[in-house]
Amino acid sequence: MASVPETQASTEKLSLYYRDWCGYCYFVKRNLDNFNVDIEIRDINKNSAYRNELLSATGRGTVPVLRRDFSDSRTEWMPESIDIIKYLQENYAK
């Protein structure tokens, strides 16, 4: 895998909250190979801590959700598979 541009890689860490049987999650995961990005995959059914993080932050248990943790301690949560793919295309395209 090619390295992520230094400015983007140094400003955020990405985590994808998902469920195995979710079609929208599958759509996002299937497209990850199209990007120069390292994303931690967090299955909310296999790890209750991930589900609790998601519920606490968004108030919902729907997935997929992309969590963006920035070096300045900000965290942003991005729901919706189409928005996630669009964000990754705009910022991490190969």
Per-residue model confidence as pLDDT tens for the chain (94 residues) = 444 444 455 579 999 999 999 999 999 999 999 999 999 999 999 999 999 999 999 999 999 999 999 999 999 999 999 999 999 999 998 8
Alpha-carbon distance of 22 to 6, in angstroms, equals: 32
Q: Are 36 and 9 in contact (CB under 8 A)?
A: no
What are the residue ranges of helices labelled H in 1-94? 6-9, 23-31, 48-58, 81-92
The whole-number pLDDT of residue 64 equals 98
CATH topology assigned to domain 6-92: Glutaredoxin (3.40.30)
